[in-house]
Amino acid sequence: MGKKSVSNKKTNKTMPPKNDIVKWLWRLFFLFIAVNVVAFLLMSSGLIGYLPRIDELENPIDKYASQVISSDDQLLFTYSQSDENRIFVSYNELSPYLIHALVATEDRRYYNHSGIDFIGLGRAVFKTLLLQDESSGGGSTITQQLAKLLYSPKANNKLQRVFQKPIEWVIATKLERFYTKDEIINLYLNKYDFNYNAVGIESAARTYFNKRPIDLNIQESAMLVGMLKNSSLYNPVRRENVTKERRDVVLAQMRKAGHLTLQEADSIQKLPIELDFNRADHVAIPAPYYRQHLAKMMMAVKPERKNYASWQGQQFTEDSLAWETDPLFGWCNKNKKPDGSNYNVYTDGLKIYSTIDSRMQKYAEQAVREHLQYLQPQF
């Protein structure tokens, strides 16, 4: 009995009291905050770490796809330099439901902070991490998420991600100085990758719903905002059930923020996800020859005889006449951007209005395909 008693006393001495463990956790938490605050101050003063230049902050996204619009106001096709089919859309072209869903879900105090929401950060630590409350939202503000999209490379591990945070805080506060709240939301939605080459909210709305952003309804807006958390996980094409669950979380947040009544939220949550999916790289481009010809015309340079072969005299004459008389011929090189450089149809987000009627074009191409199917066996 005596030995057993001694053994128990030794065990009790080696086990730290529960209160001591709690104290150490608090100390580690405050140490983490202190280290990040010091890092924030050092980075904001430029003493350590990389910060983007002022001109980068003023022009964070400089490549947009150009759109060609038909006479019946439909998007015929786009020109883009890469797979990122990003089409610029202004804040006024966004659905109000989209804005309400974004702020209610991602950053409830968005209009009350200057890039960093310390209340939200504390809530995220205690509710999201400790209580596993998914509806509590994240600790990063919309401005921080924009900073991450623009300037933070993908982290390889959690430690690297921890060190990226202070840099994003600094960039977020600087972005808040250069842009209004509406402009930050607009930049963020124009930058995010929604999968399937749908980079930006304009491409996403067209890819998943065949709509413009201004025409998105409540449930469609909620689904796209839900994808902002993780577009690969919440993919409505491959994972409809989890995407619907995430959409319903967004709807619940909209109700909490007062944008929906309880009855509205409940009724919309019962609706299935309905897509009108149009993957950009899987859709046949209308008027393919016209598309090539239009780009060639707009990007044409001023004709010089030395750039033409000896037998191309007639072509030189025709191009010279077109340069002088046709405003469209060489438009990108005749007109200058505010910085004095030439426009580029593949990167400058131009809107080009065509006389082609999309319906007539569709019927014409269908007739050609049917006629070719009839003629082909004869050759």
| Spatial contact of 293 and 322, defined as CB atoms under 8 Å apart | no
Q: Can you give the CATH number for the domain in which 150 is found?
A: 1.10.3810.10
Distance CA 26, CA 300 (A): 66
Same domain, 364 and 222: no
By the 10 Å C-beta count (0-12 exposed, 13-18 middle, 19+ buried), 205 is classed as: buried
Residues 8 and 139 both lie in one domain: no
Inter-residue contact 165 to 37 (CB < 8 Å) = no
Please check whether residues 86 and 190 belong to one and the same domain.
yes
Q: Count of CB atoms within 10 A of residue 19's CB?
A: 8
Rounded to 5 degrees, what angle do the CA atoms 65, 106, 190 make?
5
Same domain, yes or no: 218 and 367: no
Tell me what pLDDT residue 43 has. Answer: 54
Are 232 and 360 in a shared domain?
no
Give the C-alpha separation, 302 to 329, whole Å.
9
Contact indicator for 83, 95 with CB cutoff of 8 Å: no
Q: Are residues 81 and 192 in the same domain?
A: yes
pLDDT computed for residue 215 by the predictor: 97
Same domain, 133 and 64: yes
Q: How far apart are CA 180 and CA 173, in angstroms?
A: 12
pTM for the structure as a whole: 0.71
Which structure tokens are listed for 128? 């999201």
Question: In the numeric block, which tokens belong to residue 368?
Answer: 């050609």
Residue 261's pLDDT is what?
97
Distance of alpha carbon 221 from alpha carbon 199, whole angstroms: 16
78 backbone dihedrals φ, ψ, rounded to 5°:
-130, 160
Could you list the beta-strand ranges (E) of the chain: 66-69, 75-79, 351-353
What was the pLDDT predicted at 254? Answer: 98
Which 3 state secondary structure label does DSSP give 50? coil
Measured CA to CA, the distance from residue 280 to residue 202 in angstroms comes to 12
Domain stops at, among 257, 281, 305: 281
Same domain, 100 and 224: yes
Q: What is the pLDDT of residue 143?
A: 95
Which among 49, 71, 88 is the end of a domain?
49
239, 262, 281: which is the final residue of a domain? 281
Number of domains in the chain: 3
Q: What is the pLDDT of residue 282?
A: 46
94 in the same domain as 205: yes
44 and 82 both lie in a single domain: no
Sequence letter at residue 329:
F
Spans of the chain below 50 pLDDT: 1-3, 5-7, 9-11, 47-48, 128-129, 134-135, 137, 282
pLDDT, tens digit, 9 for 90 and up, residues 311-342:
989 999 999 999 999 999 999 999 998 888 99
Tell me the residue range of the domain where 163 lies: 57-281
Separation CA 116–CA 113 (nearest Å): 6
Residue 266 sits in the same domain as residue 289: no
Q: Is 73 in the same domain as 125?
A: yes
Asked whether the beta carbons of 48 and 42 are under 8 A apart, the reply is: yes
